[in-house]
Amino acid sequence: MANRRASITDLAKTLGLSPSTISRALSDHDDVSEATKARVRQLAEELHYQPNQLAAALRRGRSNTLGVLVPHITGHFFPQVVHGIATEAAKLGFNVMICQSNEDSRQEQKNIDLLMNSQVEGILVSLANTTHSFGHFEAVRQQNIPLVFFDRVVEDFSGSNVSAVMIDDYQGAYQVVTHLIEQGCTRIAHFTGPLHLNIHKNRHQGYRDALQAHGLPIDDELIMFCEMSQKGGTAAMRQLLKLPQRPDAVFSSNDLAAIGAIQAVKSARLRVPKDIAVVGFSNEMFTMLTEPMLSSVDQRCEQMGKTAVQLLQKMLKSGPNRQGPPKPIVLKPKLLVRESSQKR
């Protein structure tokens, strides 16, 4: 019963015209008479004609589709970025095909192949955290398909059609610590995850440099390598509270651990921010819900998605023969000061 859709050939036959004319009329080509266009359009309407993008794409060699590959679509960050990507892509007239690597390098590779097979015109990728070799991007580079890494990028993978969008974690951390110092804090602790991950490395460096720039010592005692979860934050804070001289502030590399810290402070009958100020990182939705509300750093997730698409389009437009690869774009993060770090 499959009601086959009307094709250009069908329209052509019905109107006694040639397929070429129909095609031209539908794409509002200049050299088709208005009269003909009108007839064609009307019949198309009547028959609910739907152009077959597959065929058009095949013929044109352009699919009008962008490929997106993210580790997953859960949590806070990736959905937001994907939202930014989808929105911007739609605005520029691209379709979007989305794949998840599930943090698995093997799946990442398969999905890259899949996207290339699907003839996407460009690819946006955030790396799986298990990815350490980049052979699968070699093919993309060779085919000169524009490739934009975002957030989790390959630093030493360049090419005339490869670029990246990141957020300046260093800068964000630096701002946080400066802000805490301005609030009068002098013993500022830092919660961080493993430093082989870029985000932690950079945030940590921002922390150190900001302290030094303001003439404050770096006290290893105050640097906690902890699991960046609520529990991890609570545990780390408990330990800090046992120090002979406890800290007067905590900068946590994410919001979850910051919340954990706040809870530990509270249950030790101390107050945030009076006794200990706390700042997180990422501006998760729940930062507005805690008591006190948590200061944090906004990562401009949506902006990142949007920027990545724009960058891709720029590469698409200029073609691969421009002067050198496009410069990576580094977004400025935004410190949001809320109750948890405002002493007065």
Residues lying near a copy of itself in the complex (CB under 8 A): 1-3, 5, 48, 50-55, 57-58, 63, 65, 72-74, 78-80, 82-83, 86-87, 90, 95-100, 102, 113-114, 116-119, 139, 142-144, 230, 256, 259, 263, 266, 285-286, 288-291, 320-321
ω into 79 cis (within 30 of 0): no
Q: Which of residues 19 and 51 has its CB atom nearest to a copy of itself in the complex?
A: 51
Q: Which of residues 58 and 213 has its CB atom nearest to a copy of itself in the complex?
A: 58
- Closest approach, Cβ 10 to DNA, in A, equals 7
Q: Which of residues 49 and 170 has its CB atom nearest to a copy of itself in the complex?
A: 49
How many amino acids of this chain bind DNA (CB under 7 A)? 29
Does 36 participate in binding DNA (rule CB under 7 A)? yes
Q: Which of residues 34 and 156 has its CB atom nearest to DNA in the complex?
A: 34
Q: Which of the residues 85 through 104 are near DNA (CB under 7 A)?
A: none
Distances (CA, A) of 273 to 182, 277, 340, 341, 342: 13, 4, 5, 5, 6
Q: Interacting stretch for DNA, rule CB under 7 A, among 47-55, 96-104, 158-166, 224-232? A: 47-55
Tokens 């509002």, located at residue: 28
Binder of DNA out of 56, 241, 293, 336 (CB under 7 A): 56
Q: Which of residues 243 and 288 has its CB atom nearest to a copy of itself in the complex?
A: 288
Indicate which of DNA, a copy of itself, none lies near residue 46 (CB less than 5 to 8 Å, by partner kind): none
Q: Interacting stretch for DNA, rule CB under 7 A, among 50-58, 128-136, 151-159, 325-333? A: 50-58
Does 63 participate in binding DNA (rule CB under 7 A)? no
Does 24 participate in binding DNA (rule CB under 7 A)? yes
Strand, helix or coil for residue 32? coil
Starting at the earlier edge strand, list the strands of the sheet with 277-279: 223-225, 188-192, 249-252, 277-279
What's the number of CA atoms in the CB half-sphere (13 Å) around residue 133? 4
Binder of DNA out of 1, 3, 4, 344 (CB under 7 A): 4
Binder of DNA out of 38, 58, 285, 289 (CB under 7 A): 58
Tokens 């602790």, located at residue: 189
Which of 40, 42, 53 is closest to 13 using CA atoms? 40
Binder of DNA out of 20, 42, 129, 143 (CB under 7 A): 20
- 296 beta partners: 336
Radius of gyration of the chain (CA): 27
Q: Which of residues 119 and 310 has its CB atom nearest to DNA in the complex?
A: 119
Tell me how far apart the alpha carbons of residues 249 and 233 are, in angstroms, rounded to a whole number: 13
- Spatial CB neighbours of 224, under 8 Å, sequence gap ≥ 6: 189, 190, 191, 192, 236, 239, 240
Q: Which of residues 31 and 220 has its CB atom nearest to DNA in the complex?
A: 31
Q: Which of the residues 234 through 273 are near DNA (CB under 7 A)?
A: none
Indicate which of a copy of itself, DNA, none lies near residue 21 (CB less than 5 to 8 Å, by partner kind): DNA
Q: Which of residues 114 and 216 has its CB atom nearest to a copy of itself in the complex?
A: 114
- Within the chain, where are the H helices? 8-15, 19-26, 34-46, 53-60, 77-91, 105-117, 135-142, 169-182, 198-213, 230-241, 255-267, 301-318
Tell me how far apart the alpha carbons of residues 238 and 266 are, in angstroms, rounded to a whole number: 11
* Contact between residue 238 and residue 232 where contact means Cβ atoms under 8 Å apart: no
Q: Interacting stretch for DNA, rule CB under 7 A, among 27-35, 84-92, 137-145, 203-211? A: 27-35
Distances (CA, A) of 86 to 80, 97, 145, 269: 10, 9, 19, 46
Q: For the residues of 241-287, what is the DSSP string, one character each?
A: HTSSS--SEEEESSHHHHHHHHHHHHHTT--TTTTSEEE-SB--GGG
Which residues of this protein are in contact with DNA, per CB under 7 A?
4, 7-9, 16-24, 26-27, 31-36, 51-52, 55-56, 58-61
